[in-house]
């Protein structure tokens, strides 16, 4: 005769195991109630009498027959191990997560072409950093990565075609997730927890509103979302597009190094496992207003050995010579992907 089963998302589970799982909460409650139980003369290390179990309120009730007669301590230990195993099972090692930060070009200049809106492949997802009321997205939840990825009223950004390109050239069982916490027109100080309050106070109203959207601390929001993402997948890299507001600042590489190392520490990551990809700003070939910053960005690998610079040469810009066009964002995003693919053990697309 077959063991009765019940269907769960991860497969068929014997009813006996389901019964045990129902006692997990009671066992953990028993641990919390230990002091009160001791006062009543009930020792948690003592085995319960035959047929007894904690009822979750400090008392006992009839124990199901299928549970072995083990001391309560062992039941609680097994319950804890079961919870740890369940948590480990929830993390998908083939769900590659990338943290994205920077200025308006990482946000994406407002306006999304129709050809870029129609994205429905669930292999590429975004963890919403803020609420998107119009798109019915809630902060802290995963969604199919149709733009915008950063905040409402932003546009296509390099992360869009970065993710789309990766899933095109990685095995079918690999998924990509991005977390985008970017602030237009902001210096690197906006990601310094010790300086952001003063920086926000001195900012114009429009930037204050952007910083406020992240709870007043973009760095902390990025870390919180990063930790959440680690429960679902594995952080495999950091995408940066920042520098216009720090143009000609020779201290920028050192500041970026400090930020990178702080992120690694706070998320318990190793540099060798999480490379930093830094994109150039609009280049001299496009008469970029901040093109001189690219000379400084080029030195970043000297400060951070695991940093890689992504060229923006030839990426078309808008008339302001600060922001890329949708065509420019598509090309730049693909270049981020081409840089990342070998670091993931894959070959760049089409030999590019």
List, by residue number, the catalytic residues.
104, 320, 323
Residue from 46, 206, 221, 54 nearest 131 by CA? 221
Q: How far apart are alpha carbons 212 and 199 in whole angstroms?
A: 12
Q: How far apart are alpha carbons 76 and 259 in whole angstroms?
A: 42
Q: Report residue 174 as tokens.
A: 């690999």
- DSSP state letter for 147: S
Report the DSSP pairing between strands 52-54 and 60-62: antiparallel
**DSSP element (H, E) containing 260:** helix 252-266
Q: How many helices (H) and strands (E) does the chain have?
A: 14, 11
- In which residue are the tokens 């119009």 written? 134
Q: At residue 134, what are phi and psi to the nearest 5 degrees?
A: -65, -35
Q: Report residue 186 as tokens.
A: 């902001």
The sign one gets for the Cα dihedral 260, 152, 145, 157 is negative
Q: Report residue 322 as tokens.
A: 């600060």
**In the chain, helix, strand, coil percent, each to 5?**
45, 15, 40
Cross-strand bridge partners of residue 60: 54
CA distances, 252 to each of 49, 108, 260, 264 (Å): 68, 22, 12, 18
In contact, 98 and 178? CB cutoff 8 Å: yes
Residue from 166, 183, 185 nearest 175 by CA? 166
């Amino acid at each position: 005769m077959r063991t009765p089963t019940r269907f769960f998302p991860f497969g068929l589970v014997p009813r006996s195991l389901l019964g045990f799982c129902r006692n997990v909460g009671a066992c953990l409650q028993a641990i919390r109630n230990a002091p009160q139980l001791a006062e009543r003369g009930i020792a948690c290390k003592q085995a319960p009498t035959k047929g007894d179990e904690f009822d979750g309120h400090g008392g006992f009730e009839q124990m199901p027959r299928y549970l072995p007669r083990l001391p309560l301590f062992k039941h609680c230990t097994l319950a804890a191990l079961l919870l740890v195993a369940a948590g480990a099972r929830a993390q998908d090692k083939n769900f590659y997560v990338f943290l994205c930060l920077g200025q308006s070009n990482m946000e994406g200049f407002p306006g999304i072409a129709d050809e870029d809106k129609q994205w429905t492949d669930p292999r590429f997802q975004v963890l919403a950093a803020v609420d998107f009321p119009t798109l019915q997205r809630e902060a802290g939840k995963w969604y199919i990565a149709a733009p915008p990825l950063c905040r409402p009223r932003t546009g296509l950004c390099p992360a869009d075609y970065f993710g789309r390109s990766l899933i095109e050239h990685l095995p079918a069982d690999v998924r990509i997730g991005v977390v985008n916490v970017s602030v237009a027109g902001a210096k690197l100080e906006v990601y310094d927890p010790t300086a952001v309050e003063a920086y926000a106070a001195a900012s114009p109203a429009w930037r204050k509103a952007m910083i406020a959207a992240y709870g007043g601390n973009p760095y902390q929001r990025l870390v919180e979302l990063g930790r959440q993402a680690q429960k679902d997948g594995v952080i495999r890299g950091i995408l940066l597009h920042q520098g216009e507001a720090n143009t000609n600042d020779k201290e920028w590489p050192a500041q970026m190094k400090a930020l990178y190392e702080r992120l690694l520490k706070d998320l318990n990551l190793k540099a060798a496992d999480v490379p930093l990809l830094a994109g150039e700003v609009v280049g001299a070939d496009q008469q970029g207003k901040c093109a001189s910053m690219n000379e400084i960005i080029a030195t970043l690998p000297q400060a951070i050995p695991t940093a890689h610079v992504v060229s923006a040469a030839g990426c078309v810009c808008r008339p302001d010579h600060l922001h890329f066009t949708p065509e420019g964002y598509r090309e730049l995003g693909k270049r981020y992907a081409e840089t990342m693919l070998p670091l993931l053990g894959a070959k760049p697309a089409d030999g590019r």
